[in-house]
Structure 1
Amino acid sequence: MKLSRSSSIYYQKVLRDFFSSSSILNSSSIARSDSLYRRISPLGDPRVSVVPVLDQWVREGRPVDRQHIRFIIKELNHYKRFKHSLEISEWMSDKRYIPLSIADVTTRLNLILRVYGLEQVENYFNNIPQKLKQFEVYTALLNCYAHEKSIDKAESVMQKLRDMGCAKTPLSYNILMNLYYQTGSKEKLDALMHEMDKKGICYDNYTLTIRLSAYAATSDSEGIDNIMTKMESDPRIILDCNTYGVAANGYLKVGLLDKALEMLKKLEGLTTTTKRICVAFNVLLKLYAEAGKKDELYRIWNLYKEKEKIYNKGYISMLSSLLKFNDIEGAEKIFEEWELRGLSYDFRIPNFLIDAYCRNGLLGKAEALLNKGIEKGGNPLVSTWCCLAGGYLEHDQVPKAVEALKKAIVVESPSSNPNKDALVSCLEYLEGQGDMDRAEEFISLLTIQGIFSAVIHDKLFNYIKDKK
């Protein structure tokens, strides 16, 4: 069970705010840090160290300021450049330019988790000076355990916070509650809320949104009703588009269309006041499509265009929503709008149409759109080639499917495998054609790219040799 993008926004925001720098840089300080950041920014390859750039900065006699360093780390984190962020954090203290603060330690724990994993987090935590092991640091450790779904260790840290007398705010409870929600531990989630009640710790938006998400995930419409009533009647709680989105999604899951549409109307009412207007419209597009309301989908899209300049994420939302109705003609028109905008060529956008074409036997259109995207400088995704392979297999064009899967593997990451049925079909085809050399080449390529393990590789090769 996972938090959806919309249902977890409260939780993600509070953690981001809590674990980021405690001081906000003003525009002038950002400008002063710009020169160093511009030197570091182009080094996108995580295998290339940023330390030489930092050392050169110091050799030039330039100042090293904590706030500037924090700004750079925060910016790199935004772009998921965690290894470089960690290098900068370690350089900052190891060179003894800036002593570590509690906020720096919490940031580093999160970075170590991202780069090296939980074992190294624990090693680092065990060596932190005792004076720095305060509430914030234990809470950061709790967050690391929650991120890795290590329930026993997370509960142990939570007990430590209780023993320290620090479990007095919703934050640590929210982290643990979210872990229980993600792992389906409903009883433990309820027990934490009862503990908060007993201690007089007031629920906040995040507490109630996590509980709302849990009710929605289990299709508990009565629970959704109760939480929404509680939130709407509490003047301390500020409902936003994500709250209504979670509720609407939950009602749709149990077939309560009228209640879902009521939530979507309330969500739409927030588009005049929210700062996250693009998020609100994208949620509306997705949920009106799931509700089967095609007319409302187009109405929201036109309203979106009136109020806001739409970028790639908006087009992704509209295309994915239209194709839930298999409205290929409508999707083609939206795609043409996107092309005319001249935005950056994000291959996820043509990929929606390529997938739809393949599923509907329009392989010529799929190939034409693929080639057009490549000509424009786009880079096809793994899923692009897998869509084509599936379409080819469906229409008995197995040689083309083999070539498509080979191209998929070239851009494939070991954590996301191509469709196994497609792979099996291709291997069976090669075997049936007696093309064992090509089959061996195919298996070797799969192994090199991490799709097959060495054990599977050997078993397949032995099978092929027996066939020979």
Structure 2
Amino acid sequence: MWALRRASLSLRNKSFNVRVSSVKLLPNTSVEDESGVFDSPKMVCAKCGFSSMNLCYCSGSNSGHGFLKFSLGRLGFSSEAGAKTTKEEDDDLEDGFSELETPLGEESEKGVVSDSEDSDESDESEITGPHNELELPLSHDVDEVSTGKRSSRKRADSELFKAIMNGTGPTIYTALEKWVEDGKELSREEISLTMINLRRRKIYLKALQLSEWLESKKHLEFVERDYASQLDLIAKLHGLHKAEVYIEKIPESFRGEIIYRTLLANCVTQNNLKKAEEIFNKMKDLEFPLTPFACNQLLLLYKRTDKKKIADVLLLMEQENVKPSPLTFKILIDVKGQSNDIDGMDQIVDQMRAEGIEPDNYTKAVLVGHYISGGHDDKAKMLLKEMEGENLKENRWVCRLLLALYAKLGMADEVGRVWKVCETRPSVEDCVAAIEAWGKLKKIDEAEAVFEVMARKWKLTSKNCSVLLNVYANNKMLTKGKDLIKRMAHKGCRIGPLTWNALVKLYVQAGEVEKADSVLQKAIQQSPVRPIFSSYNTLLEEYSKRGDIHNSEKIFYRMKQAGYISRLKQYQILIEAYRRANVPAYGIRDRLKADNVFPNKTLANLLVQVDGFKKTQASDLLD
């Protein structure tokens, strides 16, 4: 673990105290950059001999910065940032999910897609790859709980799922009652398969209705994982507060570690730093064992919000003898890649292999993405060939990853070659990845051709149409986008958050930001499902570029109304609107403090520029 901690984060230019029990371990004095990763290749610690390429812990410096304190008695966390930054770069990475959490070729939503916009309903066999990256212990595994075995049936075999999806009306209760009246089996296995289908398609509202119906009608004797599944769905659809209220209704005997780890994972998914740390501490107070799962959740959250705390989590894992899991290594690889520390990233891979863990293809895809971003195309191509294996036809499922990565490299011929392997018997995921790849390469005709393959093979859905809509939006093809919307309406596709988001992008890219705003507002009024984060952020950025304070504030307020937490990046975009309009932003520092947002150097500079009480030569003369 010590070797991992040294190889995981290059802490450059920062001084802070880390306290674990009575042990004080202090890194050498330095200043952190905005990415939260440190790199000072010419500095070597005189005490321990580690170069700053590694994480150095020696007891020779203390500059009095804000520090994060761990006490093994309580594991208390301070959310104070207290960090200094050294360069003014765009901190998009703070705000988005990287390729690690969002599989290549899928929409990064930061929101909820319910049954107002279903995913594909193909008869394709099970999705290959991790559909539960956060390791949530959900009750679609209830057959495992009761039998100790995972069902070998394919997701398309669930008759109950088909009955639910073929039902009419706003709820699924009529279909469920009919199922029982017809005397059909309502076994754990059938319920499990149905939940798998609903969750994988992100049809969370129907999944919650099914869970609540089973509980209220006593058709299923709930165990802890069943309660955890319902808790997860409530958190996704109704927010963390409602989820906490639900926990109080769970019988005390079932309020175990699985319940709280599910709530913790949802805090992380919703980027709620304060609540995540609170739940983590509560798990310690309840004397649940410290697990790799809980630590990984904090690592995921700090990767997005406060990278300097990652080293402290690793130190805690070392002190508590918590062995890193494959996900731990994936997170650290991604952190290194985001900071363009390719050597450090390779060191993490070496350490991973030394621990007997071979990187899977999803991890390799993350590595390739960072190699490309860092200008290491040769390394990327070598790893892509390794991912392909000797026979790509026998390794078909990896095609969707290869399509996205070859497109990122700009290699249209390779995208075409991989698609030919898929073309004879494509899956929905293959088609989606190919459309996105051709779109990235600006090969619109090829993207449309793949879309038509998908349209002939399966019923058109809003989710699949939104992929092509995004291609049109990214290439400023408003007319084609409108035509596709009309086609969707003609085919009876249900319109939801992904389609709204594509429409917003279409109009914004066409310069019609007011129309985009109007579309989103109508969507909010017509549907109980909230728009995804990206829809609001696209409008906020566009209004900010125009120096339109009124509309920037309006969108900022709507984001809060929708339940999205105001973070550093959103405040930065908002304050940019004031700067461009050359108008003071009175009270903005108090707003930042109220939202527990601590400025980095970029935001601090912006705050100075919009400070209504700053001294100037003119104001001095007038005073």
CA distance in 1, matches of 2:541, 2:155: 55
CA distance in 2, matches of 1:171, 1:238: 19
Counterpart pick for 2:212 among 67, 78, 90: 90
Note closer, same or farther for the CA distance 1:156–1:255 as it changes in structure 2 (3 Å cut): same
Q: Which moved more, 1:340-349 or 1:252-261?
A: 340-349
CA distance in 2, matches of 1:63, 1:180: 45
2:246 — aligned with what?
Answer: 124
Letter paired with 2:389: G
Post-superposition shift, 1:106? Answer: 0.7
Q: Is the 8 A contact 2:508 2:516 kept in 1?
A: no
Normalising by structure 2, we get a TM-score of 0.55
Counterpart pick for 1:25 among 151, 172, 178: 151
What are the Cα deviations for residues 208-266 of structure 1, in whole angstroms up to 9, with x where unaligned? 1111112222222232111111223432x132221111112222222233333333232
1:13 — aligned with what?
Answer: 132
1:314 — aligned with what?
Answer: 430
1:174 — aligned with what?
Answer: 296
Alignment length, in residue pairs?
Answer: 408
2:448 — aligned with what?
Answer: 335
**Greater relative contact order (Cα 8 A, min sep 6): structure 1 or 2?**
2
Q: Secondary structure at the match of 2:202?
A: coil
1:286 — aligned with what?
Answer: 404
Q: Secondary structure at the match of 1:347?
A: helix
Q: Would you tell me which structure has more helix in proportion to its own residues?
A: 1
Q: Is the 8 A contact 2:481 2:506 kept in 1?
A: no
Post-superposition shift, 1:103? Answer: 1.0
Counterpart pick for 1:141 among 263, 273, 281: 263
What are the Cα deviations for residues 364-423 of structure 1, in whole angstroms up to 9, with x where unaligned? xx7478658856956795577667756876xxxx9xx99999788776875526868999
Matched ranges for 1:304-453 at <5 A: 304-305=422-423, 309-326=425-442, 330-333=443-446, 335-336=448-449, 338-339=451-452, 342-343=456-457, 344-345=459-460, 346-348=464-466, 351=469, 354-355=472-473, 358=476, 367=479, 371=483, 374=486, 377=490, 381-382=499-500, 416=535
1:3 — aligned with what?
Answer: 97
1:440 — aligned with what?
Answer: none
What are the Cα deviations for residues 162-211 of structure 1, in whole angstroms up to 9, with x where unaligned? 4555335322222222122222x223222222222333322221111111
Q: Secondary structure at the match of 1:3?
A: coil
Letter paired with 1:3: F
What are the Cα deviations for residues 14-66 of structure 1, in whole angstroms up to 9, with x where unaligned? 545632424133549996x72x4443222366xx2323443454455666434
Q: Structure 2, unaligned stretches of length 5 or more?
A: 1-93, 104-128, 145-149, 525-529, 545-550, 562-623
CA distance in 2, matches of 1:368, 1:160: 52
Note closer, same or farther for the CA distance 1:354–1:234 as it changes in structure 2 (3 Å cut): same
Matched ranges for 1:154-165 at <5 A: 154-165=276-287
Note closer, same or farther for the CA distance 1:349–1:64 as it changes in structure 2 (3 Å cut): closer
Letter paired with 1:261: K
1:265 and 2:385 aligned: yes
Q: Is the 8 A contact 1:355 1:387 kept in 2?
A: yes
Q: Secondary structure at the match of 2:322?
A: coil
Normalising by structure 1, we get a TM-score of 0.70
- Identity, in percent, stands at 20
Note closer, same or farther for the CA distance 1:300–1:17 as it changes in structure 2 (3 Å cut): same
CA distance in 2, matches of 1:132, 1:71: 23
2:337 — aligned with what?
Answer: 216
